[in-house]
Structure 1
Amino acid sequence: MLVLTRKVGEQILIGDDIVITVLDSRGEGVRIGIDAPRGVKIQREEVLRAVTEANLAAAAADAEAADALKALLQSGAVVSTDATPGRRGVEVDPAEPRPADA
């Protein structure tokens, strides 16, 4: 890792087309500006981490919902499908235990 000390207004060049400029320094924070081609992704690490964690949680929830539906279908609790045009659904026999009750 390259460690540099820069003052407000000074720049760091990365390659031929990325320029990082120190805009302001306040307390323990530094404001920087990044000039890069549109095709270069620039993301804050903490935002990327939060999105990744949310995606993993959503994928786990989807897997749990799929497992619950699979268990419901395998239990034989599905009696018939809803034939209303434009709607999809199932009717469940109330006498059959739900997977969560089993």
Structure 2
Amino acid sequence: IYALDAVGPIPEELWNLTSLTNLNLAQNYLTGPIPSFIGNLAQMQYLSLGINALSGPLPKELGNLTNLVSLGIGSNKFNGSLPSELGNLAKLEQM
């Protein structure tokens, strides 16, 4: 879904794809928060949400993605501090 001019919130249906390992939603016009349902994607290794208009705090449920190697969240409108649960991401190599 990379750079397809997608508009609006992240589709809730994506959070049911629990075997997904790579999700690239970068360079779109996505808005709103990252839902806490993101914690359902326990197999995720590569998650790219950069260059959108996502907002709000980063959900603590990102810490459930313990297989995550790369997390791209730059160029959005997030606020608040990084959740301490990100410390659970022992395999994370790039953020």
Q: Which has the higher strand share?
A: 1
The TM-score with structure 1 as length reference comes to 0.22
Indicate the structure whose relative CO is greater, using CA pairs within 8 Å and at least 6 residues apart: 2
Higher helix share: 1
- TM-score, normalization: structure 2? 0.24
Larger radius of gyration: 1
